[in-house]
Structures are given as structure tokens and as C-alpha cells.
Structure 1
């Protein structure tokens, strides 16, 4: 007001201009936005054979008689409905899921696709919704596939198995310790696979329809050789990609210390490729990542 009263020629800057000045001087804190996990970016695989698509999820926690929580992890083959794994844990964690998957891969071979929801540890908030678990799967030659948020029916076969498991647990099959509960889970899995006929299988049991994958795994993570035609970079700490004069961009912490390739496209963009899978595109003009998930 003093300026207006003593300098009639003074013009008050626009509110947006004042805001820009304050931001430039670091006087306006950045708004914290909720980081959302991306949904699936392509149509779900149409299931036609064994080991084409496996589904994984946690059924939902319940209390043992000791009042400790049990979180059942389940893994099924979508074509045959075969229950590959049913194991309880005291919490939902990436190491536990990875161990369950490792045991299944060693015993039964590798699927082409692993279908999950968008929760941890299956998905993250970086490009393509990558998590460390998803990066590991890609390196094994398994494509992570996620259903849309709020659409559990897209994993309907797995959800129906969950309903059967939940109903069975409620019928007096809750025990004192995790070891006792696991023995029951193992028995339930045998019953589900070899004693229960399924209408969708024309009355057959999953165990008579399913057979192990032909993609055997020896427990090693293979090295991936990128083809010629692009530039290979190593993702630095905290998921940052340094490209010299091209700029610096954030990709995903799940990709830290991994190698990606940038391959120029006809439209001037560059595809960001990890082990043969296009994760996003890089725009050189704006030095920004264009997400496709």
C-alpha cells in the first residue's frame, strides 16, 4: 500500500508472477502429490495353454489362534487352475515372495507371464510400474502383467481359488502356529489339485490337466546381450539415468545398477528398453520421459 500511495506509476505484478518469483527464491514449498502405481499398459494375455500365465497374490491376512497374523501367498497356473504354491508368512514381503517363486520356478519351470495386482511387492511407482521383483522376473524372461486397479475380475480364476481357500480356512482350519497352519495349507493344496473336480475343466481336476513348463530353470539369472542399433547405459544410484549432453532423468529405483538401451524411433523419440521390453520413451527436445503405462 505504501508503494501505491507514494508511487502512482507503480504497477502491482500479477499473482502468477509473484508466485514464480517466490518459487524461484525457494520460498514456496513443493506440493507433495500422492505417487500412484501405474496400471497395466497393454491387453491381458489370452490364456490358451499351461504355463502361459501364472497368477500370484496374497489372499488376505487372518489371525492364528496365537493371535499372530498369517498372510497366505498363493500361485496358480491360469489354464489348468493348478495351485502351485500356498504358503503362509507373518508379513507380506518381497524376499518371501521371491523365495516362493524361486522354489516354484526350480520345481516346475518358468511361465511366460506372471499376472498380479498393483500392490507391493509386485509393482512400484517408477516407469512401467517396475518393482525389484518385476525387474528380477524380466531378467528371467518372464513378463510381469498387471490387472487394472479396481478390477479383480481380470484375475478371476485366481480370485475364485481365493474364495474357496477362505471358505475352507473359516471351517475350523485355523491353527496355533505358522508351522501347523502351513501343514494344513500343504494338505489343502493337494486336495485342491487332485481331488476337487472343476466345472471349467469339464469335471477334471487341475492335477490331471496341468504339466510342468518346458522352460527349465537352473537357478541362475542369465546375462542379457543388447542388440546393435542403440546406446546402452547403466542406471545409476536411486534410479537415475545420466546421458551426458542428452540430459539426466529419473527412471525407477528398481533399475539401479541395471543396463538399459536407448533406441531411436521414427518419430524422433528414443525407446527406453530393458532386456527386450520397452518401458517408456525419452524425448530429447524436452529431456523428459514419456510413460506408456
Structure 2
């Protein structure tokens, strides 16, 4: 016969019933037989519940539940500490997902813990533990990336990813970055200290462009030919569209030469409202400043010793030097002009620009060249 199990409330009722029988003169054995329990059971119940009421019984049960809950929490914390001590995988140490996966596998084998708890303590998602990458053949994509990297030697993986999208590749930029690093194509990072564009009274130093032909920026870039002879390049940039309007190469260039280089640009693109320049003698000459005012263009001259105020043009000059001047060796200024003009078309029509949401300054001409990594046909 199965043994009957009494609840705590039933025990309390039976004890009171036995106490009433004892008060009426019955002995312990007969009183216990009348309720269907043994003497030993009666003494055990009285030792545990004797003198309790329903309120005390309810309080005792809540305390027991709380004690059991605290014991479980302590046990879980001890188990978590043991898991961490055995696996040593804190995420702050910069472990990779594969290293965390190996830590979970090792800990489970040694401590026989559950997968859910071990992953939670170590800091690895269960989906990451169970993930098995599908083998893929990335050789064609690698070759396309290497081909673009050879053709555009100073581009980073972001620009290469945009060029791949133009060619029709459906690939995530993170995968391009991974393959880029595996092939050792990453460029060294340059960190420059940025200066403020504000006065002490919080007024803005630099006029910011708001529409095309609002502000043009002009500046000089100096370099030397293979025979050691110096030459100059006048760079003209529309600050709003970021389009490089021209790079004029001359052995010597004064204020009159600057005006001669600007005149066809004004006819082709229209007159800007402002032209920003530094305080070089070619730009500060009264003949040039007066001519600009007469044709309705307001000249802006940056503060002496503050080239960062002409930041758009300085950035373009740095790109020109990294991608062309440092990569080519010119024997004549005519050769330099031809190569720079070819690069200028690429800069305006092909090269993705981060400030323009990874689009070139003149994106419509991308339709004329669907295969960017194809053979280079210089005209």
C-alpha cells in the first residue's frame, strides 16, 4: 500500500486533533491510532510543528523557500566562478570567437556543465558555438580585389568595396575587409592632430559651402622632375561638390598665370561666389584680387600659418601627392600634365568619396565604364 504523504496544513490539523484527544484522557498510542499515524510520526511532527499556528506555519514555509532560493543562487555563483577559473575567457582580454568557442568546449568536457550556462558565463552566444561556416570559393573575388588594388594603389578597402559594387559584385564590405587583410593590402594609418575651426568667441573661422559654385579653393603643390628641376601645380576644387576642376602644371606660375588658368574654368563652370586661397604672393597680388572683385568674385584669404582653414584643398593636395606624385617619376611637365589629367578623370568620375556617401563627385559617368578593373587604356 502506498504511503500517504500529508501536507503541512494537514499535519497541523492532525496534531491539534491528537492534542484534544490527549486532553480528553486518551493515551498517545490510542490517539495516534485514531488518526492513522504511528507514535514516532507523532513525536517527529510535534518536534517540528509543535506550538505553531497557521501564520507561523506560513512564515516558516516562506523562509524555507527563500533559504532554498539563496542556496541555489550561491551554488550557481560558485559554479560560474569555477567555469571562469577553468576556461579563463573574459571578453575584455580580446579573445576571438573561435578562442571563446574552444574555451566553452574545454570547460564542458572538464566540468560537465550545460551548454546554456557555460555559454552565458563565458560570454559566447549559443548560435556562435553551433555555427559551422559553409565553405566558399573566394578566389575570383580575391583576384578582383587584387586587380583593383593594383590599378588604384592608394585606395583603401572601403573604396575598393564600392568599386566592386559598381562592377556587379554582391559582397559585404566586411568580407572585403577580411580578404583585404588576408592579402596584406591594408595601408598604414595616418593620424593627424585636428585643429578647431572656431575663434575664442565661438564664431566660425571658415565659410562653409552650401551649394555648387559657392566656394572654390585654390592652392599650389610643388614637386621636382627626374632631373631635379622644380615645378608647380595649381589645384582648383569646388568645396561643395568636391569636384577637382583642374590641376594646371607649369615650371613657373605667377598671378597672371593663375588668372589665365582660372579664366577657362569660369567659362566652363560659371563664376563662384568666393575663391579661397592662402597668402602666397601669387594669390595676394593686387592685380589678381582686384580682377576677381571686378568680375563679381569675393576672394577669401586664410589666416597666415593656418593651412587647415583651406582643408578641402589641402586634403585633395595630399591625395594627389600620395596617388600620383609619390607613385610616378616625371621627366617633363607635359608628361606630368597628361598623367595628372588622366588621374583627375578617375578622381572625379570613378573614385568613391566618403564625404559624398561613397560616390564620386561626378557619378553619372560611372555608366560609361562598367568594368573598372579591366585593362587600362590611357589616351
TM-score range, shorter chain: 0.5 to 0.7
Secondary structure, aligned partner of 1:163 = helix
SS at match of 2:345: helix
1:42-57 pair list within 5 angstroms? 43-57=205-219
Higher relative contact order (CA 8 A, sep 6+): 1
Match of 1:80 in 2: 241
Q: Secondary structure at the match of 1:133?
A: helix
Kindly indicate whether the alpha-carbon contact (under 8 Å) linking 2:237 and 2:246 is maintained by their aligned counterparts in 1: yes
1:118 aligns with 2:270: no
Count of residue pairs the alignment pairs up: 162
1:174 and 2:329 matched: yes
Per-residue displacement from partner, 1:203-262 (whole Å, max 9, x unpaired)? 1111139xxxxxxxxxxxxxxxxxxxxxxxxxxxxxxxxxxxxxxxxxxxxxxxxxxxxx
TM-score by length of 1: 0.53
Tell me, what secondary structure is at the counterpart of 1:159?
helix
Aligned partners of 1:56, 1:45: CA distance in 2, in Å? 15
SS of the residue corresponding to residue 70 of structure 1 reads strand
Once the two structures are superposed, residues 152-208 of structure 1 have per-residue CA deviations (whole angstroms, 9 ceiling, x without a partner) of 111111111010001123443121111111101111111111111111111111113
Task: Determine helix, strand or coil for the equivalent of 1:73.
Answer: strand
Moved more, 131-140 or 86-95: 86-95
5 Å-filtered alignment, 1:97-246, equals 97-124=258-285, 131-208=286-363
Contact 1:87–1:185 (Cα < 8 Å) also in 2: no
Larger radius of gyration: 2
3-state DSSP of counterpart to 1:206: coil
Q: Secondary structure at the match of 1:84?
A: strand
Unpaired runs of at least 5, structure 1:
1-41, 125-130, 210-293
- Could you give the per-residue CA deviations for residues 116-150 of structure 1, whole angstroms, max 9, x where no partner exists? 011111114xxxxxx21010000000000011111
Q: Which runs of 4+ in 1 moved over 4 A?
A: none
Structure 2, unaligned runs of 5 or more: 1-203, 365-379
Q: TM-score normalised to the size of structure 2?
A: 0.41
Paired residues for 1:6-25 under 5 Å? none
1:34-73 → structure 2 map (5 Å cutoff): 43-59=205-221, 61-73=222-234
CA RMSD of aligned residues (A): 1.9
Looking at structure 1, the residues matched to 289 and 220 of structure 2 have their Cα atoms a distance apart, in angstroms, of 16
